[in-house]
């Protein structure tokens, strides 16, 4: 049970629970550090921004609030400006509105997310900032794990979102959405209500509005908490397997993999090495699923003369003379 859950059970106000969660995430911050915080103007991100602002004073942190305008809604300018007004009300001085172009290639949600993180990473690099706070909550974590289960995802996806992943920090993963709503009310903030969050054409919205409530009704309360706990346990396993695979991967040439050596390794390690190799030769990071990897793994464990497989990014994999040859598409 995390900071937010413990405090909630003790009857501590939502704003205090959020500030305590953020304070824990700032333990390693040094005086004067610059920290970026992503703000959509919605309940979760405004609660995060407010709590972070209040907790930043002791270490005189330099805060930069980042608003992404995806340009996917007619009133996107108004939404961004409203978020800016709320941030100014909190006390932020450095507020960046970044207008981005979203190339929709695999659904609006996934494409917007990819474009958003590209913008986040670019700004962090420009400002030489190593910490970027995001407002994902315990509810987001539970929904992510449930979606992963429904899609037949592997250990890494089922482990959900890490509190710290590279530059990105998610201090509210122990905080519920109900707590961020209550905290915004306590701080007299007016969040933007994103119509996408109630549009059931989006899978995540259907999970949030229909599936999770029905699970709680039919199975009993605590389903979200259990999913989050499972994610934490699976993350430990995934981290251990990824570490082992990284050590083994360093022994191979990504473009020319020895089938005999790969066959000696457990399948969980072998498939991770294959992913690493395919990404190394040019497949877009995050583009591979088990549907891509399984036929490649079969070239090792179930070889019967299969032909080459084509993968995202123009990568081709073929088994030739006992080796897997990975070819990238010419530039």
pLDDT of residue 202: 76
Are 72 and 135 contained in the same domain? Answer: yes
Are 85 and 28 in a shared domain? yes
Q: Which of 197, 230, 263 is the last residue of a domain?
A: 230
- Specify whether 76 is located in the same domain as 126: yes
Same-domain pairing of 29 and 132: yes
CATH number of the domain that residue 276 is part of:
3.30.465.60
pLDDT at 8: 45
Q: Are residues 262 and 201 in the same domain?
A: no
pLDDT for 189:
96
Query: Does residue 206 lie within any of the structural domains?
Result: yes
Give residue 269's domain range.
253-327
Split into its structural domains, the chain has a count of: 2
Is 53 part of any domain? yes
On whether both 265 and 225 belong to a single domain, the answer is no
Residue that is last in its domain, among 230, 261, 284: 230
Note whether 37 and 71 are same-domain residues. Answer: yes
pLDDT of residue 11: 52
Residues of the chain with confidence (pLDDT) below 70 = 1-11, 106, 195-198, 330-331
Domain presence at residue 242: no
Question: What value does the mean pLDDT of the chain take?
Answer: 90
246 domain residue, yes or no = no
Residues 50 and 176 in one domain: yes
Residue 81 pLDDT = 92
Residues 135 and 204 occupy one common structural domain: yes
Residues 74 and 111 placed together within one structural domain of the fold: yes
Shared domain check, 152 and 57: yes
122: domain CATH number is: 3.40.50.620
Asked whether residue 257 falls in the same domain as residue 221, the answer is no
- Is 239 part of a structural domain of the chain? no
Q: Which pLDDT does position 196 carry in this prediction? A: 66
Task: For residue 288, tell me if it sits in a domain.
Answer: yes
Three-state secondary structure of the chain? CCHHHHHHHCCCCHHHHHHHHHHHHCCCCCCCCEEEEECCCCHHHHHHHHHHHHHHHHHCCEEEEEEEECCCCCCHHHHHHHHHHHHHHHCCCCEEEEECCCCCCCCHHHHHHHHHHHHHHHHHHHCCCCCEECCCCHHHHHHHHHHHHHCCCCHHHHCCCCCEECCEECCCCCCCHHHHHHHHHHCCCCCCCCHHHHCCCCHHHHHHHHHHHHHHHHHCCCHHHHHHHHHHHHHHHHHHHHHHHHHHHCCCECCEEEHHHHHCCCHHHHHHHHHHHHHHCCCCCCCCCHHHHHHHHHHHHCCCCCCCEEEHHHEEEEEECCEEEEECCCC
Residue 195 is predicted with a pLDDT of: 65
């Amino acid at each position: 049970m995390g900071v937010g859950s413990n405090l909630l059970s003790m009857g501590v106000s939502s704003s205090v629970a959020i500030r305590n969660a953020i304070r824990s995430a700032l333990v390693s911050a040094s005086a004067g550090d610059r920290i970026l915080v992503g703000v959509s103007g919605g309940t979760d991100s405004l609660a995060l921004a407010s709590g972070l602002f209040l907790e930043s004073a002791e270490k005189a942190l330099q805060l930069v609030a980042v608003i992404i305008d995806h340009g996917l809604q007619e009133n996107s300018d108004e939404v961004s400006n409203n978020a800016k007004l709320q941030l100014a009300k909190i006390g932020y001085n450095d507020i960046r509105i970044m207008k981005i172009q979203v190339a929709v290639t695999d659904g609006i949600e996934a494409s917007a997310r990819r474009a958003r993180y590209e913008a986040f990473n670019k700004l962090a690099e420009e400002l030489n900032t190593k910490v970027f706070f995001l407002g994902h909550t315990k509810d987001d974590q539970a929904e992510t794990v449930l979606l992963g289960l429904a899609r037949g995802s592997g250990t890494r996806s089922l482990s959900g979102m890490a509190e710290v992943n590279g530059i990105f920090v998610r201090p509210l993963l122990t905080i519920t959405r109900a707590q961020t709503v209550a905290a915004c009310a306590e701080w007299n903030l007016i969040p933007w209500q994103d119509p996408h969050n109630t549009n059931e054409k989006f899978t995540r919205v259907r999970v949030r509005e229909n599936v999770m409530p029905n699970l709680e009704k039919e199975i009993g309360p605590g389903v979200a908490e259990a999913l989050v706990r499972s994610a934490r346990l699976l993350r430990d396993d995934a981290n251990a397997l990824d570490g082992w695979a990284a050590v083994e991967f360093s022994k191979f040439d990504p473009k020319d993999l020895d089938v005999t050596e790969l066959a000696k390794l457990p399948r969980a390690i072998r498939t991770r090495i294959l992913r690493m190799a395919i990404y190394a030769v040019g497949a877009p990071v995050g583009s591979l699923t088990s549907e891509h990897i399984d036929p490649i793994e079969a070239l090792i464990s179930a070889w019967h003369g299969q032909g080459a497989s084509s993968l995202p990014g123009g990568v081709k994999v073929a088994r030739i003379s006992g080796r897997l040859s990975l070819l990238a598409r010419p530039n």
